[in-house]
Amino acid sequence: MKKLAVGIDIGGINTAFGLVDEQGEVYAESVISTRKYPLLADYPTYVNDLSEALHTLLESLTFEYELVGIGIGAPNANIYSGMIEQPANLWKFSEEETNRDEQRRFFPLADDLSKAFGGVKTLITNDANAATIGEMVYGNAKGMKDFIMITLGTGLGSGFVSNGQMIYGHDGFAGEFGHVIVERDGRACGCGRKGCLEAYVSATGIKRTAFELMATMHERSKLREIPFSEFDSAMISAAAEEGDPIAKECFRITGERLGRALADAVTVTSPEAIFLFGGLAKAGKWIFEPTAHYMEENMMFAYKNKVKLLPSGIQGKNAAILGASALIWQANA
Amino acid sequence: MKKLAVGIDIGGINTAFGLVDEQGEVYAESVISTRKYPLLADYPTYVNDLSEALHTLLESLTFEYELVGIGIGAPNANIYSGMIEQPANLWKFSEEETNRDEQRRFFPLADDLSKAFGGVKTLITNDANAATIGEMVYGNAKGMKDFIMITLGTGLGSGFVSNGQMIYGHDGFAGEFGHVIVERDGRACGCGRKGCLEAYVSATGIKRTAFELMATMHERSKLREIPFSEFDSAMISAAAEEGDPIAKECFRITGERLGRALADAVTVTSPEAIFLFGGLAKAGKWIFEPTAHYMEENMMFAYKNKVKLLPSGIQGKNAAILGASALIWQANA
């Protein structure tokens, strides 16, 4: 009988989910809106609707299967507690809510979904950790015991694997490498502090760099035609391909920041490889070349020319679902 | 029958060793010179003399014992290979040596000592890792699964423990946190790069800070009476106790550098506690207070007020021997 795991990827806008086997083949997938359930009071309905959609998806299968478990990737998710803990953009207090006790915003999603599926093993962690385990189970980190995953989306997420195990840390929140401070009193970061790596290296960060360079450089650039509010990081790759000087400098600076930070990260865990994943990683050589260059330039001699900088092997539309489902296969390995 | 492990601490000047039980009691200890064997060609004699000294020490015991293993802490030691790899200050080429192939400077000390003791389990790692495992086996990290050890000696060493396991990394050289770069184009570091943490935070680093402050501050200070070549970091603690303004600022700045760096380290491994060990840690409140202050000030919200900053529980003259012997008890646990 085919063994399947559910993989669920919860984003602020949509919740995508799929049925995945141990080789990473996706047999069925679907999506519900997350945004339709914005408030604390909406959470029970969200769980209910998500369970129903999952049951429907499972019933669509035309072969016999065994459901081995449910893996979930979600912001602020804690693998130890099984909860989504005080997420910034999910299930918020309504305007009318008077009891704004943040302790009420711990959502036991792993338990709630497990109950809806007869007590099946259900694991939850943040999306960067899920991507990391996905890389280990299905991707280019197969067989590696020590590696670092960097996910470059709206923010910069990370996952560290040592001795073949995910580093979750004492409280489940390890691997927030986007929040090392790389510039004292630097750019404002969403976390409330200043100068965090993700304020420079992420889809948002590189966009901010582009606008900084439009101020400091005088070269002509097509990027100058696009207002900030309509700008996205893919436009910088496209412009770089056409030789745009601002776009090219944008990637050099971004790679410099990332490469320096990775040279520091290597001193902690001494990985075999570092993977880049996510939208900005799709810029290919534009981001890989300067990152590798500055990483090596700043590397301590003991690590020089030893650490591979590689693209993720599970890029693509299903990557987040795959990553989430991998939680189950890794736990059973 | 009493089970004993040998702990050996190899420094540039002396090699100290002792016989230790699982509770950390030291039954006998001794020392030989390391400096007496400076050259590559001296290594076999060093191994021979060390083995003899160990046999003599074991023969001095007046009770029955079982030798469970030999643990060694040494610079550039690699737990995977069992070798001391290209140490900067041990067993160097002689002036006359023409074949200066660095591949010849890999010293298989674990195997060599094991053979001299009937094949007993012999493990070797660097001194900071040995101190880390010592803390876990005998010290204040007992029962902790996630912690960081910072050793403040001539340099800054570190050890990271996650999921109850030492992070050795892909090549055995993880945990070189003294070599994260905290100041771009900053102070020259012994590693050949610039601005490494240990150039600021270590016995040597704080001494450099003292001399920088004598240049930038105008306050009177007893420290101004001492030439650089006679200066040591204990003099700064003594001066701080007497209210010396330069000494106090020296600790504030050092704690600021260390606290900021630790806040970054926490984003990687999210530890339960961070331990400070070694000479500079003996300055007590002078180093702990500013370090804790700046660590919390720079901590990402998810970790704020969660991570304990603690003194090592195995300070004292035997700490390095204890740490080395702990390798054996931890491997057998």
- In order of their start, the domains of chain A are 2-133+318-332 (3.30.420.40), 144-311 (3.30.420.40)
Contact B162 A179 (CB under 8 A): no
Model confidence at A317, pLDDT cuts 50, 70, 90, reads confident
Does A316 score more than 80 pLDDT? no
- pLDDT computed for residue A88 by the predictor: 86
Residues of chain A with C-beta less than 8 angstroms from the C-beta of B145: 170
User: Model confidence over A148-187: pLDDT tens digits?
Assistant: 999 999 899 999 999 999 999 999 999 999 999 999 999 9
User: What token pair was written down for A310?
Assistant: 């590689």
Torsion of CA B123, B126, B129, B131, to 10 degrees: 90
What pLDDT sits at residue B268?
98
**What are the tens digits of pLDDT across the range A180-216?**
999 999 999 999 999 999 999 999 999 999 999 999 9
The token pair that represents A235 in the structure block: 């436009």
Please state, in angstroms and rounded to a whole number, the distance separating the CA atoms of residues B130 and B78: 12
* Contact between chains at A168 and B270 (C-beta distance less than 8 A): yes
Average pLDDT on B308-326 reads: 92
Tell which of A85, A160, A268 to mutate to test the B interface (max B CBs under 10 Å). Answer: A268
Question: Which residue in chain A is spatially nearest to B173 when comparing CA positions?
Answer: A270
- For B176, the closest of A169, A181, A300 (CB atoms) is A300
* Closest chain A C-alpha to B168 CA, distance in angstroms: 7
What pLDDT, in 10s, does the model give residues A119-134?
999 999 999 999 999 9
CA distance linking residue B199 with residue B85, whole number of Å: 23
- Are the Cβ atoms of B176 and A302 closer than 8 angstroms? yes
| Closest Cα in chain A, distance from residue B318 (Å) | 27
pLDDT tens-place string over residues A236-276: 999 999 999 999 999 999 999 999 999 999 999 999 999 99
**Chain-chain contact of B268 with A174 (C-beta, under 8 angstroms):** yes
Candidates B179, B304, B309, partner chain A, best to mutate (most A CBs within 10 A): B179
Dihedral Cα B52, B53, B58, B59, nearest 10 deg = 70
Q: Determine the Cα–Cα distance for residues A170 and B162; give it in Å rounded to an integer.
A: 8
Average pLDDT over residues B136-145: 96
| Average pLDDT, integer, range B37-66 | 97
Q: Are A124 and A74 in contact (CB under 8 A)?
A: yes
Residue B306 has pLDDT above 90, yes or no: yes
Mean pLDDT, range B79-91, rounded to an integer: 94
Rg (CA), chain A: 21
Work out the burial of residue B72: count CB atoms within 10 Å of its CB; fewer than 13 is exposed, 13-18 middle, 19 or more buried: buried
Task: List CB contacts (< 8 A) between B167 and chain A.
Answer: 162-163, 268-270
CA distance A195 to B327: 39
Q: pLDDT digits over B278-293, tens only? A: 989 999 999 999 999 9
A19-69 residue pLDDT tens: 999 999 999 999 999 999 999 999 999 999 999 999 999 999 999 999 999
Q: What is the mean pLDDT of residues B59-75?
A: 96
CA-nearest residue of chain B to A165? B163
At A118, is the pLDDT very low, low, confident or very high (cuts 50, 70, 90)?
very high
Nearest by CB to residue A260, choosing from B175, B181, B267, is B181
